[in-house]
């Protein structure tokens, strides 16, 4: 090999090594900035949620936070070897609170949407739900689908800032819409005869029907939207996303997920213990 070619080869190798070392150093710095590292350093997992979304996060009669997401969060903290630190937060401010580091992760039955994904990142979905309808009993036999409600004479309720609200505005837009701060307020509007239907996620509607709907409501339990729920974290954190996805894969295959699912989704025995 000619001397000139040898020098060019050595320069090429040196540049390659420099680029590799720079990339490696950048990866190390990114890993150090991960929320995962901060959680381990602080010794606690701060979980943001809004209590009141049955059966995912609720307050029990003793004032504690319980539900599907709460049990998953406790398992997650245990797997990290840290303390579970719940942070109850109003829904309309939950994404800004995550971004400004009021907590480490949102575990609050949050649906993955493209709009939300512009601001935050999601792990893989841990459950898939959809919108269903609780209809006033006076419409029994007449309203058989959400499409039958798409008329100006009907009043439909849901919770402010949710995918239930979005579904009404997008798919049942001809009806009159009333939004409420909480799910129970919106559903009770129908129970009390002040609205014709309540649109919300399947798990919540199933629980409300069992709890307060007998003889008053008709449950159209076939979901008319596809809505994956997932845990949300701040952008720019591939290490945390990787850990969360592997944690989810593990619990879904070792029996822990099924145990939690059966306790909160398939059973309603917990109703007697919540406020």
Residue partners of 10: CB distance under 8 A and separation at least 6: none
> Which residues pair with residue 274 across a beta bridge?
60
Whether 128 and 168 have beta carbons less than 8 Å apart is answered as no
Q: What is the pTM of this model?
A: 0.74
Q: Work out the end-to-end distance of the chain between its first and last CA atoms, rounded to an integer number of angstroms.
A: 82
Q: What is the pLDDT along the chain (275 residues), one digit of tens a residue?
A: 555 565 665 556 555 555 545 545 555 665 667 999 999 999 999 999 999 888 999 999 999 999 999 999 999 999 999 999 999 999 999 999 999 999 999 999 999 999 999 999 999 999 988 999 999 999 999 999 999 999 999 999 999 999 999 999 999 999 999 999 999 999 999 999 999 999 999 999 988 998 899 899 999 988 999 999 999 999 999 999 999 999 999 999 999 999 999 899 888 889 889 86
Number of domains in the chain: 2
* Residue 21 domain-assigned (yes or no): no
The span from the CA of 249 to the CA of 245, in Å, is: 6
Residue-range definition of the domain harbouring residue 209: 131-225
The span from the CA of 205 to the CA of 246, in Å, is: 31
CATH number at residue 85: 3.40.190.10
- For residues 234 and 123, membership in a common domain is answered with yes
- For residues 165 and 179, membership in a common domain is answered with yes
* Residue 2 domain-assigned (yes or no): no
DSSP the chain: --HHHHHHHHHHHHHHHHHHHHHHHHHHHHHHT-HHHHHHHHTEEEEEE-TTBTTTBEEBTTS-EESHHHHHHHHHHHHHTSEEEEEE--GGGHHHHHHTTSSSEE-S-PBP-HHHHTTSEE-S-SEEE-EEEEEEGGGTTT--SGGGG-STT-EEEEETTSHHHHHHHHHSTTSEEEEESSHHHHHHHHHTTS-SEEEEEHHHHHHHIIIIITTTEEEE-S--S-EEE--EE-SS-HHHHHHHHHHHHHHHHSSHHHHHHIIIII--GGGGGB-
- For residues 122 and 59, membership in a common domain is answered with yes
- For residues 121 and 142, membership in a common domain is answered with no
């Amino acid at each position: 090999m000619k001397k000139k070619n040898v020098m060019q080869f050595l320069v090429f190798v040196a540049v390659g090594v420099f680029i590799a070392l720079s990339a490696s150093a950048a990866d190390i710095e990114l890993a150090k900035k991960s929320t995962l590292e901060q959680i381990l350093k602080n010794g606690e997992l701060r979980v943001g949620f809004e209590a009141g979304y049955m059966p995912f996060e609720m307050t029990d009669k003793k004032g504690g936070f319980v539900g599907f997401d709460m049990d998953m969060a406790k398992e997650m903290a245990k797997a990290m070897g840290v303390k579970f630190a719940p942070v109850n937060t109003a829904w309309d401010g939950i994404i800004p609170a995550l971004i400004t580091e009021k907590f480490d992760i949102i575990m609050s039955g949050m649906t993955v949407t493209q709009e939300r994904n512009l601001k935050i990142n999601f792990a893989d979905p841990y459950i898939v739900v959809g919108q269903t309808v609780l209809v006033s009993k006076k419409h029994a036999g007449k309203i058989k689908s959400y499409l039958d409600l798409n008329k100006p004479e009907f009043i439909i309720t849901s919770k402010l800032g949710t995918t239930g609200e979005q579904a009404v505005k997008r798919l049942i837009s001809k009806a009159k819409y009333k939004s409420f701060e909480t799910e129970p307020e919106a559903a009770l509007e129908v129970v009390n005869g002040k609205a014709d239907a309540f649109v919300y996620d399947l798990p919540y509607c199933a629980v409300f029907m069992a709890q307060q709907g007998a003889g008053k409501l008709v449950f159209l339990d076939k979901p008319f939207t596809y809505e994956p729920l997932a845990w949300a974290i701040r952008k720019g954190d591939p290490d945390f996303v990787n850990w969360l996805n592997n944690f989810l894969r593990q619990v879904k295959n070792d029996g822990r997920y099924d145990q939690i699912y059966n306790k909160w989704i398939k059973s309603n025995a917990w109703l007697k213990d919540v406020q």
